[in-house]
Amino acid sequence: MSPNFVAPPNGVATGYAITDPKDYLNFQKTEYKLEPLEDDRVTVAVECCGVCGSDHHTITGGWGSWETKFVVTGHEVVGRVVELGKNVTQFQIGQRVGVGAQVGSCGTCKWCKNDNENYCPEPVHGYNTLWPDKSEHQGGYSTHIRAQELFVFPLPEEIPSVEAASMLCGGLTTYSPLVRNNIGPGSKVGVVGLGGLGHYAVLFGVALGAEVTVFSRSDAKKADALKMGATRFVATTPGFEKDLFREFDLIICAASGTNLPIDEYLTTLDVGKKFVFVGLPDEGLKEVKSQALIWGVGLSGSHIGCRTEALSMLKLAAEKKIKPWINVIPMAQAADAIKSIEDGSVRYRTILTTDLL
Amino acid sequence: MSPNFVAPPNGVATGYAITDPKDYLNFQKTEYKLEPLEDDRVTVAVECCGVCGSDHHTITGGWGSWETKFVVTGHEVVGRVVELGKNVTQFQIGQRVGVGAQVGSCGTCKWCKNDNENYCPEPVHGYNTLWPDKSEHQGGYSTHIRAQELFVFPLPEEIPSVEAASMLCGGLTTYSPLVRNNIGPGSKVGVVGLGGLGHYAVLFGVALGAEVTVFSRSDAKKADALKMGATRFVATTPGFEKDLFREFDLIICAASGTNLPIDEYLTTLDVGKKFVFVGLPDEGLKEVKSQALIWGVGLSGSHIGCRTEALSMLKLAAEKKIKPWINVIPMAQAADAIKSIEDGSVRYRTILTTDLL
């Protein structure tokens, strides 16, 4: 039965909610009032939604206590436009769109105006978050979400919905540092950690024309990395950096663990180049000495991406026929997806398709 | 009596040497054979030489054991060309020149060929260092030094020798990150620590047209900072960063201490901008969390500067009539200069003038 993409009755959505971080696998169908449909907002009926590591961090309380009473996670949404705020001009009812890990920003700050709305100091993220008027925003393990028009992206027809979904956070989070660091034909890119984010760093790095090397703690994912287009796979055993002196134009670190051999990685960067974190280890960077930095290399971070990057990423994905490695299951099985993140078995992203509409 | 700028008899120089790190204030006049005058090298008779923090780190053994049997420090040399290797084309006997903290590089690597010879993996530094043929190189608290032509800089007539000397390391080390980070009119630059390096970061930042803010642990140097051209002085008491959210286009860290409030500084950088270390704290960056980096900012380092930067720095210094804050004393008083680094009393660089020629 194909989903019934209609507006939420009386602005009420139904989602798979977690009500207690101690019971974080117990998704319960829950009805809740959406935030108001302000003039610049769009309502999207959810067709499918990717499962991101952030979802696990949030529902387990790993990133701290919640802002909202319960949490409906999901910030990699593909769906149909079913309502338009009255100032929304670029979408039509019924149009297929994507929404990622940010649904709002102030719209007036310097960063909102210079293609850095992903760095707006007053962001509204994909779930477990409040709008300035304190109304709650929940995510895409649900029938509907609302978002500012700026954070709703038209999708190229060529990309199936389940393949587009996880590009909207996982894809964009790796695409943004690639393009901000001018990666293109001839560039050499390192990717640390081959999970959901890392696999996108490989796919988009290759699509941009770079030679990609994957670093991982063991050889377990070597075959996958090469199949994704990486030209080299390096298991980070002691001394791994010796043959890679100043090799890379960029290293994207998608590993969530601490105790990364950062000083060793820094020696593999060319002068003036960066090691960019796209993940958020909870602990500090204990092992970093500025002696390693003094050779003109840097440590940096990156947070999602901006709209113009999202649109160019989707265009590239359509042109290059990028296929993410995904596992598609019904939304009612969200707990299984969370478990596969926890035990590391996910290869490489789970997409939940709606069973609520 | 003006110095007698002649070639070293039989290639023998006289320098003020330290022979034991435990006795690091005991400079003794010592004769030693210079490295060979290879075809690409120049011999410079030393008129004056700046005293850098590195000199103190080296003679005390703070940077580890020595490469040479004794050490003649000094890598901020101004003097006269007195000998030319047979392939040297751009200098004449008697010409006034400067030599900084590097005297040699391989000349063939990628970095030597792309204006990054200061990042050559086989550098020969200003003293306590060996050439590939194992001949020793000593520094500028002496009658003579030898250096590859690439590391010898013609000096604009307008700059007196004692004012040019410390630009060649201290100046260049701060000028390079300023220009590599596109600092110019309208830029906002932070400078952490007002010592020899920090004072140059202020002078050159201002000369490039930036608005410069100096950060220091106390207000002790506030008046000096403002006199150098800084527009603001911030004592880093708790909460200092609160009013400076994403203010800076670059922060140059010239502080040698550890326990810097790095996470706080990172919040004062604009998106995509960097906190650049030009000093070398011995300990790691214990307090850095990647959470601070994730907002698109970076930690980086920088090592001296390249020839093209040295030449453009000297041109700028001449045009803008930059006056370093220096204290000029005879070379025989080198121990006093070292003591003033140790006790922090130097304001802001000591220049030793020859009493050996």
Sort A193 into a burial class: Cβ within 10 Å, 0-12 / 13-18 / 19+: buried
Average pLDDT over residues A249-278: 91
Q: Which residues of B touch A174 (CB under 8 A)?
A: none
Model pLDDT, residue B67: 92
A287, pLDDT greater than 70: no
pLDDT on residue B62: 85
Q: Which amino acid is at A234?
A: V
pLDDT score, position A286 = 64
Residue of A nearest to B301 (CA): A294
A-chain residue closest to B279, CA distance: A294
A332 in contact with chain B, both atoms CB, cutoff 8 A: no
Residues B300, A303: C-beta atoms closer than 8 Å: no
Q: The tokens of A314 are what? A: 């989707």
Q: Provide mean pLDDT across the span B300-325.
A: 97
Note the pLDDT of residue B281: 62
Domains of chain A are: 9-166+324-353 (3.90.180.10), 171-301 (3.40.50.720)
CB count within 10 Å of CB A157 equals 8
Is the model's pLDDT at A288 over the cut of 80? no
Interface contact B301-A293, CB threshold 8 A: yes
pLDDT level of residue B192 (50, 70, 90 thresholds): very high
Residue A126 C-alpha from the chain's centroid = 10
- Distance (Å) from the alpha carbon of A232 to chain B's nearest alpha carbon: 23
**Nearest Cα residue in chain B from A300:** B298
Q: How far apart are CA A285 and CA B288, in angstroms?
A: 6
Q: What is the pLDDT of residue B168?
A: 98
Residue among B245, B291, B303 whose CB faces A280 most closely: B291
Provide mean pLDDT across the span B328-349. 96
Size of interface A-B (CB pairs under 8 A): 107
Contact A286 B287 (CB under 8 A): no
Average confidence (pLDDT) over A268-274: 97
A301 contacts B296? CB cut-off 8 A = yes
Average pLDDT of the residues of chain B: 95
CB contact under 8 A, B300 and A283: no
Contacts of B130 (CB under 8 A, 6+ apart): B67, B68, B124, B136, B137
Query: In this prediction, does ipTM exceed 0.90?
Result: yes
- B284, B297, B303 member nearest A295 (Cβ): B303
CB of A43 within 8 Å of a chain B CB? The answer is no
The stretch B159-174 carries a mean pLDDT of 98
Residues of B within 8 A of A192 (CB-CB) are: none
Predicted local confidence at residue B240, as pLDDT: 97
Q: Looking at residue A278, what is its pLDDT?
A: 92
Q: Is A299 in Cβ contact with B271 (below 8 Å)? A: no
Q: Report the distance separating Cα A225 and Cα A221, nearest Å.
A: 6
pLDDT band at B3 (very low <50, low <70, confident <90, very high): confident
Q: Do A290 and B277 touch (CB under 8 A)?
A: yes
Residue in this structure with the two tokens 């939304």, named with its chain if needed: A331
Chain-centroid distance, C-alpha B186: 26
Of the pLDDT bands very low, low, confident and very high (cuts 50, 70, 90), residue B95 is very high
> Which residues in A6-59 belong to E strands, given as ranges?
12-17, 28-33, 41-51
**Alpha-carbon distance A176 to B180, whole Å?**
22
Of B152, B48, B63, B53, nearest in space to B100 by CA: B152
* Per-residue model confidence as pLDDT tens digits over A148-188: 999 999 999 999 999 999 999 999 999 999 999 999 999 99
Residues 86-115 of A with CB under 8 A from B: 111
Chain A: closest CA distance from residue B301 (Å): 4
What pLDDT is attached to residue B56?
94
Residue B160 pLDDT:
98
Contact A288 B283 (CB under 8 A): no
> B171 to chain A nearest CA, in Å?
17
pLDDT of residue B283: 64
Q: Is the pLDDT of residue A137 over 70?
A: yes
Inspect the interface and report whether the beta carbons of B280 and A294 lie closer than 8 Å. yes
A175 and A309 Cβ atoms separated by less than 8 Å:
yes
Q: Is B302 on the interface with A (CB under 8 A)?
A: yes
Residues in A touching B289 (Cβ below 8 Å): 283-285
The nearest alpha carbon in chain B to A116 belongs to B271
Going by pLDDT thresholds of 50, 70 and 90, the confidence category of residue A283 is low
pLDDT of the residue at A223: 98
A257 touching B, CB under 8 A? no
What average pLDDT does this structure show over B307-325?
98
A62 inside 8 A of chain B by CB: no
For residue B44, what are the β-bridge partners? B81, B145
Q: How far is CA A294 from CA A138, B202, B203, in A?
A: 44, 20, 22
pLDDT of res. B287 = 59
Q: How confident is the model at residue B185 (pLDDT cuts 50, 70, 90)?
A: very high
Q: Residue B87 corresponds to which tokens in the numbers above?
A: 């392939």
Say if the Cβ atoms of B290 and A289 lie within 8 Å. Answer: no
Mean pLDDT of A248-269: 90
| B97 to B28, B151, B157, B160, B319: CA distances (angstroms) | 26, 10, 10, 11, 18
Q: Is the dihedral of CA A252, A255, A257, A261 positive or negative?
A: negative
Q: Is the per-residue pLDDT at B161 higher than 60?
A: yes
pLDDT tens for B237-287 read 999 999 999 999 999 999 876 678 888 999 999 999 999 999 766 666 665
Mean pLDDT value across residues B130-145? 97
Share of chain B above pLDDT 70, in %: 96
Q: What is the pLDDT of residue A280?
A: 66
Min Cα separation A199/chain B (Å): 20
3-class SS of residue B197: helix
Contacts of A279 in chain B (CB under 8 A): 290
> What's residue B260's pLDDT?
85
**A110-116 mean pLDDT:** 97
- Torsion (CA) A218, A219, A224, A225 in degrees, nearest 10: 80
Selected for mutation to probe chain A from B188, B270, B293, B304 (highest A CB count within 10 Å) is B293
pLDDT mean over A10-36: 97
Of B284, B295, B301, the CB nearest to A296: B301
pLDDT band at A2 (very low <50, low <70, confident <90, very high): confident
> A285 and B289 in contact by Cβ < 8 A?
yes
On whether the CB atoms of residues B276 and B301 are closer than 8 A, the answer is yes
pLDDT at A1 over 60: no
Q: pLDDT digit string (tens) for A40-91?
A: 999 999 999 999 999 999 999 988 899 999 999 999 999 999 999 999 999 9
Q: From chain A, pick out residues whose CB is under 8 angstroms from the CB of B290.
A: 277, 279-281, 284-285, 299, 301
Rounded to 5°, the CA angle A345-A350-A356 comes to 135
In the block, tokens 């000297």 appear at B314
Tell me whether B286 touches chain A (CB under 8 Å). yes
Least confident span in A13-22, A237-246, B45-54, B288-297: B288-297
What gap in Å lies between CA A217 and CA A344, rounded to an integer?
13
Chain B residues touching A116 at Cβ < 8 A: 271-272, 296
What's the distance, CA B319 to chain centroid? 21
A281 vs B contacts (CB less than 8 Å): 290
Q: Which residues of B touch A245 (CB under 8 A)?
A: 121
* pLDDT greater than 80 at residue B163: yes
Looking at residue B63, its pLDDT comes to 84
